[in-house]
Amino acid sequence: MDPVRNLENKKNLNNNLPEDSISGRISNGVDTATKEGKYIYCIIDSDQPQSFGPLGIGGRGDQLHTICFNGIAALVSDAPLGKYRVSRDNSLAHERAIETVMTQYTTLPVRFATVAEDEMKVTRILEKEHDRFKDLLGSIAGKTEISLKAIFKEGIIYKDILEKYEDIRVLKGKITTLAPEKSHSQRREIGRMVEEALQREKEIVRDDIINILSPQAAEVKTNDTYGELMIINAAFFVEKGKEADFDQQVQQLGDKYSQKVTLKYVGPLPPFNFVNITINTEDY
């Protein structure tokens, strides 16, 4: 197996998005859906006003641009105030905007669907939170997030369990000559034993992956897995100078488990798993 890093835009990698978000509401009773605001994607370490193309959320062609204050900037676009559904298009637009600037700047992702009323409000946020944002930018500078998922190959792992666990193999052999209606309890017991064996095999591989890759990362976050065959769903915060070593270790793990595990290896990514700022725009 050859786990290859996908360096292009990613889909649905941010597991921390709220199910439904509302931000930047005007409290004077005006229908906020008809009012324009400034959608905030991230905070970056820049003091240069600049544009990054028509990539704003909503598919209207709004320009990504910066609003600056004293050495930091918010990446924003024009966008309606109001409610934003966590749809595939909206999530990708939010992520793509951050990925557009992360190759040039350290980025602090801002929570999905954060919309300020106007440029003045964004500037007030930057002014009030300046020191906190600067400290956070300093703490993550020179690091990148890398996502790794490991998944058992279905046909292979169950065959491997049958070969490895003699008690399962023996019980399975005993019921081969029995009619299905006479072996319900034995079949249920085999199912339970296989499930326990699968969990043990997951723990063995998961611990091996974490033990090998953790020393190469400044931080590690393990997220929920999905599906019965997923072993690990983890994010690693890796210093850019250690990326080559991290890549090599993943390659060796891919070779080691090539017969029974698929590795999905994606990066670099914005640090969604390690910092994701929540800004209540009504507080400023």
pLDDT-wise least confident of 34-38, 183-187, 193-197, 280-284: 183-187
Please report, to the nearest 10 degrees, the dihedral formed by the alpha carbons of residues 187, 260, 244, 145 taken in order. Answer: -30
Q: What is the pLDDT of residues 230-272, one digit of tens each?
A: 999 999 999 988 999 999 999 999 999 999 999 999 989 999 9
Max Cα–Cα distance, the chain, nearest Å: 79
Q: What residue spans define the domains of the chain? A: 20-141+272-283, 145-269
* Tokens at 234, concatenated: 């983890």
- Residue 54: pLDDT above 90? yes
pLDDT at residue 181 in the model: 65
pLDDT at residue 179 in the model: 65
pLDDT-wise least confident of 70-74, 188-192, 240-244, 279-283: 188-192
Q: pTM for the full model?
A: 0.80
Which residue from 191, 187, 198, 189 is spatially nearest to 164, judged by alpha carbons?
198
Ordered alpha helix ranges (H), the chain: 88-102, 119-128, 130-140, 154-164, 166-174, 184-213, 243-256
pLDDT at residue 257 in the model: 95
- Total count of residues recorded for the chain: 284
CA distance 272 to 145: 8
| Residue 115, number of CB atoms within 10 A of its CB | 30
Which residue from 164, 161, 147 is spatially nearest to 235, judged by alpha carbons?
147
pLDDT at residue 104 in the model: 93
CB distance 3 to 80 below 8 Å:
no
* Tokens at 33, concatenated: 């859906």
Percentage, residues of the chain above pLDDT 90: 68
Q: What is the pLDDT of residues 135-171, one digit of tens each?
A: 999 999 999 999 999 999 998 999 999 989 888 888 8
**What band does 7 get if pLDDT is binned at 50, 70 and 90?**
very low
CA distance 243 to 216: 8
